[in-house]
Amino acid sequence: MVNVCITVGIEENVSSLKTLSLKAYHRLSHDMLSYYRLCATSTATGILRNYRKAKKKNPRTKLPYAKKLMLTTCYGFKIQNDLLRLPVKPREHIYVRLNIHTLQTLSGLNVRSVTLTPNSLGITYSKETIEIEPDGYVGVDRNLDNVTTAATDGAVKAFDLSKATRIKSTYRFVKSRFKRNDSRIGTRIHRKYGEKQRNHVAPLLHNVSKRIVDDAKTKRYGIIMERLTGIRSLYQKGNGQSRNHRARMNSWSYGKLQRQVEYKARWEGVKVIYVPARDTSKRCSICGYKTLESTQRRLWCPHCGAILDRDENAARNIAAGGLRFSPNGPPGEAVKGNPTTTVILRVDGGKLSQQTNATTIHPTKT
């Protein structure tokens, strides 16, 4: 049914849920329950929207086609005792037994939808959360091999992700050994090892994201992250970089870690703020001046003479950068000609030397 809706959406050039429902609903099998048809239309709508976005970037994007068997419904199901009841036809149901952990997790929560595949059962639920007013902030600096956090109370933590990088490198090597000239088998092999790689890397990212959110929740802190955009375009063929370097950087899971931190933080009521990523690593977190590269990911500030760890310095700048977006931050930006604005140390440090000249006005006699 999803593929029928996709075909109708491409033929009629529509991607909105209401229009696609009007165009495709009568073409779906009438033997299926109505809410299954509605969920299939909703799923196809999301696929069509992603297809239109991808086609704008690449006109040669292939037409979408759903291959995996999946049943998603928001209606008709019911949990009775330790069984999940799913309707098949009017007054005809199938039952799936739930384990003790699932029942304990769902106790007292509002179950919203059920997704059934040949190998798994997914149940989504919701709960009411209240956003905690933060007493401070923790900046999160994401790198290829580690994640560094720095809180406004001075605490710094580093989470090692070099194991995830090694796992990705190993699977790239394994897939590169495949020499058979058969694209279909090659696609199957790459999909197989790609899934294995994701299954090995995902627990590592979940562990780091959970520890970051738990620490912020315990201290009643908000989380501040960089708004990273355009990273993939920096490592494309023709940019003068080696193939191995491009592969390593393009396998960086910065977006996946960001999504995990964000949804876990929202679930726990922890506030999340994004700041621009420009110069967070290059600016001194003590005085605000531009630093110079030293050795072994260390920075040297020519103004205050401080020697800083690159990742720790970036995390501190990110944490300080979020203060200007918080309710407890200063009332305005530090700009020229505005003598009443409070300058944020470690954020507007480079403007301190300019403030005297910018705000000093010498009256002239007439």
SS (H, E, C) the chain: CHHHHHHHHHHHCCCCHHHHHHHHHHHCCCCCCHHHHHHHHHHHHHHHHHHHHHHHHCCCCCCCCCCCCCEEECCCCEEECCEEEEEEECCEEEEEECCHHHHHHHCCCEEEEEEECCCCEEEEEECCCCCCCCCEEEEEEECCCEEEEEECCCCEEEEECHHHHHHHHHHHHHHHCCCCCCHHHHHHHHHHHHHHHHHHHHHHHHHHHHHHHHHHHHHCEEEEEEECCCCHHHHCCCCCCCHHHHHHHHCCCHHHHHHHHHHHHHHHCCCEEEEECCCCCCECCCCCCECEECCCCEEECCCCCCEEEHHHHHHHHHHHHHHHHCCCCCCCCCCCCCCCCCCCCCCCHHHHHHHHHHHCCCCCCC
The reported pLDDT for the residue numbered 268 is 92
91-105, 194-208, 228-242, 342-356: range with lowest mean pLDDT: 342-356
CB contact set of 181 (below 8 Å; sequence gap of 6+): none
Give pTM, 2 decimals.
0.75
**Helix 2-12 with 17-24: angle, nearest 10 deg:** 100
Residue 325 — very low, low, confident or very high, per pLDDT cuts 50/70/90? low
- Assign residue 113 a region: left if phi > 0, alpha if psi is -120 to 50, beta otherwise? beta
The reported pLDDT for the residue numbered 199 is 93
* Closest CA relative to residue 358, chosen from 332, 340, 331: 340
Compute the distance between CA of residue 230 and CA of residue 316 in angstroms, rounded to an integer. 23
Residue 324 — very low, low, confident or very high, per pLDDT cuts 50/70/90? low
What are the tokens at 178? 């495949």
Sheet holding 92-97, edge to edge: 78-80, 83-89, 92-97
Whether the per-residue pLDDT at 347 is higher than 70: the answer is no
* 263 vs 338, more confident: 263
Compute the distance between CA of residue 154 and CA of residue 58 in angstroms, rounded to an integer. 46
**Rounded to 5 degrees, what are φ and ψ at 218?**
-60, -40
User: What does pLDDT average to over the chain?
Assistant: 84
Compute the distance between CA of residue 149 and CA of residue 277 in angstroms, rounded to an integer. 15
Q: In the chain, what percentage of residues exceed pLDDT 70? A: 88
Compute the distance between CA of residue 104 and CA of residue 225 in angstroms, rounded to an integer. 33
Whether the per-residue pLDDT at 295 is higher than 90: the answer is no
Q: 220-276 pLDDT, tens per residue?
A: 999 999 988 888 888 888 888 888 888 889 889 999 999 999 999 999 999 999 998
Residue 349 — very low, low, confident or very high, per pLDDT cuts 50/70/90? very low
What are the tokens at 87? 């309707």
Compute the distance between CA of residue 109 and CA of residue 91 in angstroms, rounded to an integer. 26
The single residue listed with the structure tokens 């420009």 is 278
Residue 337 — very low, low, confident or very high, per pLDDT cuts 50/70/90? very low
Whether the per-residue pLDDT at 149 is higher than 90: the answer is yes
55-64, 98-107, 169-178, 336-345: range with lowest mean pLDDT: 336-345
Beta bridge partners, 274, equal: 225
What are the tokens at 79? 């949990």
141-145, 178-182, 280-284, 334-338: range with lowest mean pLDDT: 334-338
Q: 79-115 pLDDT, tens per residue?
A: 988 899 999 888 889 999 999 999 998 888 889 999 9
Whether the per-residue pLDDT at 57 is higher than 90: the answer is no
Q: In the chain, what percentage of residues exceed pLDDT 90? A: 42
Residue 35 — very low, low, confident or very high, per pLDDT cuts 50/70/90? confident
Compute the distance between CA of residue 224 and CA of residue 323 in angstroms, rounded to an integer. 9
Query: Residue 99: what residue type?
Result: N
The reported pLDDT for the residue numbered 50 is 93
The reported pLDDT for the residue numbered 286 is 85
The reported pLDDT for the residue numbered 356 is 35
Segment 192-205 shows an average pLDDT of: 93
Residue 350 — very low, low, confident or very high, per pLDDT cuts 50/70/90? very low
What are the tokens at 358? 């910018």
